[in-house]
Every structure is written in C-alpha cells, then in structure tokens.
Structure 1
Amino acid sequence: MRRRVVCLRHGQTRWNVEQRFQGHSDIPLDVAGVAQAARAASLLAALGPTAIVSSDLQRAYDTGSALARLTGLGVQVDKDLRERGGGAWEGLTRAEIAAGWPTEYAAWEAPGGEAVADVAERVSEAIRRWVAQLPDDGLLVVASHGAALRLGIARLLGLPEELWSALGGLANCSWSVLEEGRRGWRLLEHNAGTLPEPVISDDRPEAGNGG
C-alpha cells in the first residue's frame, strides 16, 4: 500500500467572485463556498482519510472542517500551507492590477509578494512533513489554496520550474490526488470533483483566476 495526498482547494469567497487577489488576506467562505465545502466533504469522506491538515486562513480551515465533521478527525493547522502572498496586490481586482502594474502583471510577480519558487518549496515541504506521519497506507487531505497547491504539487512531482505553468489551476473545492511511489510522487487526478469550469484563483492568469 502507498500513501496518498488529496490536495483540496477551499470553497468560494466573495473575493473570488470579484476576482480580487486574496493572498494572505483572511477572507471567509461565502454561502456558495460553504455549500461547496459540504459537497466536497461528502465525496472525500468516502475515501476514508487518515488525517486532515489545513492552511491557517479561515477559507481553507473551514473547508477542511466540513470534512472533519463527517469523518470525526481533527483539523491540524500549518501556516506553511497559506496562499502565495500578494504584497501590494492583495484586495485588488485583476483589472486594477493590470492597469497599475502592467509589467509585473505580465510576469505575475506582485511587488512585495512571494516568489513562486519560495511558495513551491514551503508548500511541498509542509506536505512532506505531514505525509511522514502517516501509516504506509494513509491518506492525507490538505485544505489549502489554488496557487499554493498548484506550485506545491509541481515541486512534489519534480517538474522543472519552466514547466510549472503546464499544470492547470484548481477550481473552488476541487482537488488533486497524489500517490507516493518508489520513484517519488505521481499525479493520479487533477482538478477533480467538478465538471470543467472557470478557475478563479490567485494563480497566474493562464493557470486560473484568486486563491
């Protein structure tokens, strides 16, 4: 048996709908997001998770808590699972960012924000730490954020940074499943749980659209 990780993006927030960069801003789930979390929990509970860990931001924690209520598990909190920090862009819409920082927008590098390599490293290392505590056949659910999870997954898979954009974004309350093998991690599912729909995330414009 091999250990698996379900990377679950949080449910919808008002800022997602308004296409505002959330980053480290602690924005709660909206009504639709609460319903999305409940639906995701009803599906993921059937997998029999061993442990649940969440970002310390409430939109992710509340998403993980919906699953915890069905499984009887607690939700552990890890600040390293936070979304990519957006610096001067947090709270701003895509249009405002593009108008105010056209060069930085093209590169998707926020003034005062986090570098993608730093986010990939902290998220992937956090996942590794929690996986190390699982039994050999354990299943870890990680409730986190769109850009953070995409970058962390890319790093776990060993993709070179120039190929990270090949991995698409995650819709609200969709998830990816990774399995630990003899030669490292492999991706079993990506952006699962919904029919194809627009992704509103803090990630790069081509990956999706508020984390």
Structure 2
Amino acid sequence: MKEPERTTILLARHGECRGNIEGLFRGRVDFPLNERGLRQAAELGTALRPFRPEAVVTSPLLRAKSTAQAIAAACSIQVEEDDGFNNTCLGIWEGRPKTEIAELYPEQWKMWLENPEELSVEGAESMDEVMRRSMAALDRAVAKYRGGTFAAVTHRTVIKPLLAGCLGIASPYFWKVHMDTASYSILVHDDLHGYSLFSLNRTDHLSGFTTEWV
C-alpha cells in the first residue's frame, strides 16, 4: 500500500524582544528583536538547517521577519510574508504592561488567565478569528509546498489557536500548550490524517530563552 504524501511544517516562534522581557502585551506593536533575540534567531536557523526547508513563511512583524531572515540565511532559502500569520490584534491592550491590565481590567484579566478563548477586548480579535485566518495561511503554504518541508514563523498567541485548530483540541485550549521564544514545533500533514503533531516546543538549540506563562 502506498503511503500518503507528507508535508513537514517547522512551526517556529520568533526570538525575544523587549515586550517579552518587560511583560507587555505585544499584539501588533512592531518590536524588533533584542540582542538575545538576534542570537536566538541565528541558533534557530542553525537548528532547522538539517531539515532542509524549501522556504520560510512569516508574519510581517519585525520580530518574526528578522527571525525568518536568520532561518533563510542559515538554510539558503527565500522569505515569504503572509498576513495570516500576523500576531493577534489585542486592541486597547497592545503595548501595555500586563500588571496594568490586571489592575485596570480585573474581570477581563481573570478571563485571560482562565479562558482567553472567550475574552472580548475593545478593538481586539477573538481567538476563533485568529484560528481561522492562521489555519487558512497554513493550508495555503501546505498546498504550495506539498510533499516537501517549509518553516513558518509566527507568535505565541497565533501558534496556540493554530495548533488547536489543526489537532481538534476543544476550548479551552489556550493554556494547554506552551512554546518559548525561538522554539520550534513540527507538524506533518497528509490527505489521509490531516495535521499531526510530531514535536512541540523544541528549545535544546538555544543558549537562553524567555519563558512566559501568562
């Protein structure tokens, strides 16, 4: 029996930026990588080279794009932008300290900690909206690189709903998966099984990373 044609996705989170270490809600604020983030991006590129990806698709935000460019340089491939991998729009929370949000919006902060899938913030996307547009972006890339391997660089609040959508994880799912800065996970896709998770949150290639639990 012939095995189904498999596509391998190297799903990476961007390297560290100021918003990570200062405890800010990032959203669409365009933070560049900091010094450690640049080092992480280079280490990530080296780690992904043995997989021989054909391309790297990225969120358009600078912290993701710079990470993707480091992967591209290490693997001698092209960078493609897809707004479907852009970070979650967080509306009036963007760029603000989490401590401030917890103080000013205690009920919504509680929802963020317990069930962000149901969170509603003025001007922000819902997790369902993020899931739909990121899955559409992933499907586009899988169709383009069918049977091959590609990398995708995006953000924590995109990877979580994206994985939930790919794997059929019911809500509340957001806090059931974890990924650190400049980590990568491996998904495999074929027409028989759809998406399968091969590996989650690999960080052994990093000399240092930021871990966030809220």
TM over 0.5, shorter chain: yes
Superposed CA RMSD in Å reads 1.7
The range that moved more, 173-182 or 27-36, is: 173-182
Q: Does 1:176 align with 2:178?
A: no
Question: In the alignment, which residue of structure 2 is the partner of 1:205?
Answer: none
- Asked whether the equivalents of residues 29 and 94 of structure 2 are also in contact (C-alpha less than 8 Å), the reply is yes
Pick from 158, 172, 176 the counterpart of residue 167 of structure 1: 176
Inter-partner Cα distance in structure 2 for 1:176 and 1:114: 24
* Paired residues for 1:184-199 under 5 Å: 184-194=194-204, 199=211
Question: In the alignment, which residue of structure 2 is the partner of 1:150?
Answer: 160
What is the SS of the residue equivalent to 1:161? coil
Deviations 1:105-149 (A, max 9, x none): 11123332110111111111101111101132x112001101101
Partner AA of 1:107 in structure 2: M
Partner AA of 1:131 in structure 2: V
Q: Does 1:21 align with 2:25?
A: yes
- Asked whether the equivalents of residues 175 and 191 of structure 1 are also in contact (C-alpha less than 8 Å), the reply is yes
- Asked whether the equivalents of residues 135 and 166 of structure 2 are also in contact (C-alpha less than 8 Å), the reply is yes
Q: Does 1:57 align with 2:61?
A: yes
Partner AA of 2:131 in structure 1: A
Inter-partner Cα distance in structure 1 for 2:188 and 2:40: 25
Partner AA of 1:5 in structure 2: I
By how many angstroms is 1:94 displaced? Answer: 1.2
Inter-partner Cα distance in structure 1 for 2:193 and 2:177: 23
Q: Does 1:8 align with 2:20?
A: no
Compared CA separation, residues 169 and 111, structure 1 to 2 (3 A): farther
Compared CA separation, residues 12 and 197, structure 1 to 2 (3 A): closer
What is the SS of the residue equivalent to 1:190? strand
* Paired residues for 1:61-210 under 5 Å: 61-108=65-112, 109=119, 110-136=121-147, 138-162=148-172, 164-165=173-174, 167-181=176-190, 182-194=192-204, 199-200=211-212, 208-209=213-214
Inter-partner Cα distance in structure 2 for 1:166 and 1:35: 27
Larger-gyration structure (1/2): 2
Gaps spanning 5+ residues in structure 2: where? 113-118
Inter-partner Cα distance in structure 1 for 2:59 and 2:42: 18
Q: Tell me the matched-pair count.
A: 200
Partner AA of 1:199 in structure 2: T
- Asked whether the equivalents of residues 54 and 75 of structure 1 are also in contact (C-alpha less than 8 Å), the reply is yes
Identity level (%): 29
By how many angstroms is 1:72 displaced? Answer: 1.5
- Asked whether the equivalents of residues 83 and 148 of structure 1 are also in contact (C-alpha less than 8 Å), the reply is yes
Deviations 1:70-93 (A, max 9, x none): 221110001111111111111111
- Asked whether the equivalents of residues 181 and 209 of structure 2 are also in contact (C-alpha less than 8 Å), the reply is no
Gaps spanning 5+ residues in structure 1: where? 201-207
By how many angstroms is 1:165 displaced? Answer: 3.1
